Structure 1
Amino acid sequence: MSEETPQNPLNAPATRAPAVPPNNNPIDDRTGLAIMIMCGTSLIFALQDGLSRQLGSSYAPTFVVMLRYWFFAFFVLALVARQPGGLRRAIRSRHPYLQITRALLLVGEVVIMIEAFVRLGLVETHAIFTISPLLVAALSGPILGEKVGWRRWTAIFIGFVGILIVLQPGRSAFATEAMLPLIAALMFAVYGLLTRYVSRADPAIVSFFWTGIFGAVAITALGIWHWEWLAPIDWVWMALLCMLAATGHYLLIRAYELAEASALQPFAYTQLVWVSAIGVLVFGDELRLNVVIGATVVVGAGLFTLWRERQKAQQPGL
């Protein structure tokens, strides 16, 4: 399960939420290679979501996420140990309460998404979750004090129309369960905005550390009550899930070292393609026409907001 405006790796890809520290000063702009890495990373996160759905259908989502976060915490500690200042530097935050809030939001978002995978399927869950970057654009004003112009407000409105196309108001049973990815998208959007806020004072590795370690502590307090021994084959799936998560995070870091976030973010939407293929071919999800149309509208609106943000960054007067 495997990340909002151009997004850094802590609040992107658009359809999935990796918590990875960005490199705001790429030392080598090799955009073509970075795009290939981003597309491959999106595939990895789609596979991760498929495994999360598989395990979430047999075990409590909090338990699945707890095991993932234990592995993630070791990954974070190993990464932090290689950075200048090590653990002593990573733990020093100027916004400790906001960092804890970020960690709790991300953990909650992952748990809710796994529950949504089981109830709605991968395709419809991700089709709804694509609204997250537009929520970031809408909330960047009240949370970060950024100006949101009429063009982006129009794109946000169009994106919500796309979500309505996916939801088909009137289908009450589906609409109730569809609140899960909507809630997750809102949590992920706030998480991403808080990430941008704390990045003004805390280095990326600090945010990465707090996300992994305090997230692991929080989910352990919930997941430990659902402990049970996995079936032998499920240990294989869990190990693969953890390895995919670590590999995806590493590749995402590499991609953002090679190119700017605004150039890479549009390719994060390829995860929607990958996850749809997995949902249909592996889990038998139905690819309904309204979901395809609605998701296309939302992605188009999201790409427009990314383009406007990039134009605004290049020409501050826009």
Structure 2
Amino acid sequence: MPHQASPAVPAAPVPQRNTVGLGIGLMIGSTIVFALQDGMSRHLAAEYNTLMVVMIRYWFFAAFVIAIAARAKGGLRRAVKTSQPVVQALRGLLLAAEVCVAVYGFTLLGLIESQAVFICYPLLVAALSGPVLGESVGWRRWSAIGVGFIGVMFILKPSGGVFDIAAAIPLAAALMFALYSLLTRYAARRDTTATSFFWTGAVGAVFMTAVGIWHWEPMTLPDYGWMACLCVTGALGHWLLIKCYEVAEASAVQPFAYFHFVWASILGMTLFAEVLRPSVATGAALIVAAGLFTLWRERAKRAA
């Protein structure tokens, strides 16, 4: 999912070098891993309770972020320290809830249609950056946001075969992830990336355990294997994303995050017999074009 790439990694630190080619390769690699994770999540959530599946994912994710923090300078004590615990806790809760909503959406709409709607989250970030962070959004970016939401309407329209109550689920996930992203930017003003990353995994694991442990179900042996793969790919995807932002500027590699939708669509069609409807393809193309434009405008504004 980021995150969606699914992505759960907070704002990256200033890179020590800017190797754009390597950064692009790492970003594309992370999108492949996260798409595979989406496919495994779709399978497991169709067989077992979504809360249990996400809970186990978060146990492994929490172990991963604790290991990363323990090896970093200052160790766990430094990672835990924050002057804004409420903001950090809210970030962790939002992301955990978003993952649950997104995975549940996979079971109802499939990978293609869920991801086609979810990829509008950068537009929601741009639209909400004004009221949440006090950033200015010019008429060009507002125009791009409008075009992107025309794309969303293409996907959701009844003739496209997607519009029902379930269509609101990936849209809700996109809104939650946008709010999480904005809170991550806000938290980054006073906290380090290591601190935000630690709180993301720790708070999410505590929250998911509290709500998911009541829905424990025994799994078959093959599905235990798929669950193990899901946990490993989650950690691998986050590691690739961290390395990506270490070697290249975020603005240079972020456009390639849209490959997540491409890989998820391929998985949906080949493994789950999903169909890429013309209205969904058209809407997704409009959303991606609008998202790329907003990224370009943001980069141009920073350069100016």
| CA deviation vs aligned residue, 1:212-262 (integer Å, no higher than 9, x gap) | 001100011110000122110000000000110111111111111110000
Q: Distance in 2 between matches of 1:148 and 1:22?
A: 20
* Equivalent residue, structure 2, for 1:153: 142
Query: How far does residue 285 in structure 1 lie from its aligned partner after superposition?
Result: 0.6
* Equivalent residue, structure 1, for 2:183: 194
Give the residue type in structure 1 aligned to 2:298.
Answer: E
Query: How far does residue 20 in structure 1 lie from its aligned partner after superposition?
Result: 2.0
Q: Is the 8 A contact 2:11 2:185 kept in 1?
A: no
Q: Distance in 1 between matches of 2:6 and 2:183?
A: 14
Give the residue type in structure 2 aligned to 1:121.
Answer: G
2:40 to 43, 47, 51: 51
| CA deviation vs aligned residue, 1:7-30 (integer Å, no higher than 9, x gap) | xxxxxx5x4322224443211211
1:184 to 161, 165, 173: 173
Structure 2 unaligned segments of length 5 or more: list them. none
* Equivalent residue, structure 2, for 1:16: 5
Q: Is the 8 A contact 1:156 1:301 kept in 2?
A: yes
1:98 to 87, 99, 106: 87
Q: Is the 8 A contact 1:22 1:253 kept in 2?
A: no
Q: Distance in 2 between matches of 1:121 and 1:226?
A: 23
Give the residue type in structure 2 aligned to 1:276.
Answer: S
SS at match of 2:136: coil
SS at match of 1:174: coil
- The count of corresponding residues between Structure 1 and Structure 2 is 304
Does residue 104 of structure 2 align to residue 111 of structure 1? no
After TM superposition, list the pairs within 5 Å mapping 1:123-162 onto structure 2: 123-162=112-151
* Equivalent residue, structure 2, for 1:292: 281
After TM superposition, list the pairs within 5 Å mapping 1:1-318 onto structure 2: 2-3=1-2, 15-169=4-158, 174-315=163-304
SS at match of 2:164: helix
Q: Distance in 2 between matches of 1:173 and 1:39?
A: 28
Q: Distance in 2 between matches of 1:213 and 1:145?
A: 29
Query: How far does residue 175 in structure 1 lie from its aligned partner after superposition?
Result: 2.7
* Equivalent residue, structure 2, for 1:9: none
| CA deviation vs aligned residue, 1:135-189 (integer Å, no higher than 9, x gap) | 0000000000000000000000110000000111477973311100000000000
SS at match of 2:163: helix
Q: Is the 8 A contact 2:10 2:184 kept in 1?
A: no
| CA deviation vs aligned residue, 1:35-67 (integer Å, no higher than 9, x gap) | 011111100000000000000001111100000
Structure 1 unaligned segments of length 5 or more: list them. 4-12
SS at match of 1:252: helix
Give the residue type in structure 2 aligned to 1:177.
Answer: A
Q: Is the 8 A contact 1:123 1:276 kept in 2?
A: yes
- Which deviates more from structure 2 when the two are superposed, residues 173-182 or residues 226-235? 173-182
Distance 1:173 1:291, change over 3 A: closer
CA RMSD in angstroms, aligned pairs only: 1.3
Q: Distance in 2 between matches of 1:44 and 1:201?
A: 31
- Which deviates more from structure 2 when the two are superposed, residues 22-31 or residues 44-53? 22-31
| CA deviation vs aligned residue, 1:86-105 (integer Å, no higher than 9, x gap) | 11111111110011111110
SS at match of 2:29: helix
Give the residue type in structure 2 aligned to 1:209.
Answer: F
Query: How far does residue 74 in structure 1 lie from its aligned partner after superposition?
Result: 0.6
Give the residue type in structure 1 aligned to 2:14.
Answer: N
Give the residue type in structure 2 aligned to 1:62.
Answer: L
Give the TM-score, by structure 1 length. 0.93
| CA deviation vs aligned residue, 1:59-85 (integer Å, no higher than 9, x gap) | 111100000000011101100001111
Query: How far does residue 34 in structure 1 lie from its aligned partner after superposition?
Result: 1.1
Give the residue type in structure 1 aligned to 2:279.
Answer: N
Give the residue type in structure 2 aligned to 1:114.
Answer: V
